[in-house]
Chains A and B, each alone.
Chain A
């Protein structure tokens, strides 16, 4: 069919319009063009800019329509990410960008491609002690199963969302909802999840989770009993009794093993709850938004009258929540009734210390996926060599410039913290599957030896010269610069 047109006309197969594009012209979409007889993509494509990384958050640096008079930075300070780069899928052909640059005297190559992942999902770590639902129960969005509750970690509940069985193994609707959920989570959007036999939560990467409508503030440093154990020494001599109010286990210093070890005197305190072991009480109140995850606002409501035989007037009592956010100090009057007093400065420090030790409660989203055959074939003619090179740490794998952790064992299965990637780095295809950026950076000599597409390598300067439709963003300051030459045997 091309016979009807001049020999340098190309037919673009990027979409069903199948435009014939003449030399120097672009197709109907303005995204593909005929450059010297070659079909090239001219889309916005994200570059990481190292000089912008000095403490600046990730913000778009140059929009595509802004004027930009040539590179403002030395080219080696720029890393070409795979966001918007296009893919090799489903054909066997070189990755869309194979970029060479010299770093610290070493010739480096970065192979840049977007991967279309059916085998992918996210692991959610939700910092809360609240019960989100029984392990193995389904997590749903709009009624569709999108994942499940997996093994809890210390101070955090863990969910596994997505995966090939939800994406393509269930109904069409299950696949679509799963895909949208993954995309939203990866792009930092808030997502509402309901757990069978459990809670309804709203989570977004890097933000505190909301559980049943309540936003979490801080992770407690430990349960009430653990808090007693950790701070007993600091309280010794400054106060006669401490109660750490907690929805799970409320701790009482004088009865607790830690208090006994320090030789604390019995105080005659009586807790209105179910005693577990000495100094540890269950169910002092109902769960709620009050002190230590209970529904109480007046801590004295969990105390009964002090035993007159043991208590004494002037007894000093500190009541504090597991996060140190709530506290009150009392002294017993002649009738052995607690009277609230100002917190002595000697105790302020210990309350402050509890608070300091409670980290902000966050939701973290790790994207996890496996690089399949055609993706690897876009990097090298001998895909297994790429796997080996990655395993030997000769090839660094990044996703949108963020470091990726590579699972040991076969294949290239990686995990990346989505909050370290530029915004909106993920896309999707209606298959449904997730489109994520992936970059492989290695020494040019190593690239040649693993059968790389050496003919497709273009110098970074040349890629930067195509200044149209590139977007530069600052690199996240917490990420190592992806272009450092790797040293044998070191793992990120």
Chain B
């Protein structure tokens, strides 16, 4: 029995909720009334074909990416493959690492090509693509643990910044992580790039062989996981302060390298209430550690998103 896709406005009458199988999107566009409608219509039209498009190539997308991998055919699958390509030589990664960000990006692209919008976002379970016209901005709230939603900081993204994507990865998320980070939030030029990078950095926040970390082969939990028998983190016990710092340092090293390679704009790494930020001098986007400012109720209204759930480590 195939469940139908859900296409509805949320009770607030502004945000669009799209759901099809594991894809769950919250979308909001700001602009002229007619433009919003046109954007939502374009989103809904594109949405209903996405899951089939991805599933048609699922075996390929679940396979390890290599420099000589077959190029997938679907437009979203190509974005996924492109986003993981910078990592595939040195480590195990599949295009699925960027699926959520790629879907968000493709949907946003469809909307902004359909009409003129002031600003818009597509939030795919915490992996978010933004559109910002000059003068507009978004403020994102960051959450360390999806099971205990509490804002640990905020980040402001203005139109002048190169950031158009944000993604979060961690072992508590909906999909698997090889590392022990509660959450790694990454800002990048695109949502797919941020998604892939968040996965890579979260994997690196780790203490190999530590007894407090429970690891299980991915296919023990999900028989068809793209990670096969690779050990994924299922639980992290309480760690000592110096252990936390060590694990974060491992992640920061990778994040710094990705920033130097211009694969990410900035990143915030969270582990057991310790936060490390990797960022350039603020260029229109900055992480505000601790102390989340009250959202301003303006016409360009700020909003909060949670970094919950990803489809893959």
Contacts and interface: CB of A to CB of B under 8 A. Distances in A.
B290 interface: no
Interface size class of B (residues with CB under 8 A): 20 to 34
Contacts of B5: 429-430
B3 A15 contact: yes
Contact of A86 (B3, B20, B41, B175): B3
A15 B11 contact: no
B1 A13 contact: yes
Contact of B22 (A25, A28, A183, A429): A28
Nearest to A188: B13
A1 to B, nearest CB: 10
Interface string A236-270: 00000000000000000000000000000000000
B224 A430 contact: no
B7 A427 contact: yes
Interface string B274-313: 0000000000000000000000000000000000010100
A330 B85 CA distance: 87
Contacts of A399: none
DSSP majority for the B interface?
A: loop
Nearest to A6: B223
A89 interface: yes
B4 A14 contact: no
A302 interface: no
Contacts of A427: 4, 6-8
A13 B21 CA distance: 10
Given A13-B2, A19-B222, A29 B22 contact: yes
Interface string A54-96: 0000001000010000000000000000000011011101000
Nearest to A39: B1
Given A9-B223, A20-B222, A22-B223, A435 B51 contact: no
Nearest to A59: B11
Contacts of B213: none
Contacts of B58: 17
B311 A189 contact: no
A19 B21 CA distance: 10
Nearest to B175: A28
Contacts of A22: 220-223
Interface string A394-412: 0000000000000000000
A116 interface: yes
Contacts of A7: none
A424 B2 CA distance: 22
Nearest to B3: A14
B4 A187 contact: no
A37 to B, nearest CB: 14
Contact of A430 (B4, B174, B220, B309): B4
A424 B6 CA distance: 12
Interface in A427-444: 427-431, 435
Interface string A84-119: 001101110100000000000000000000001000
Given A15-B21, A427-B6, A427-B7, 11 more contacts: A9-B223, A16-B51, A16-B52, A16-B55, A17-B51, A28-B175, A29-B21, A29-B24, A30-B309, A116-B4, A435-B4
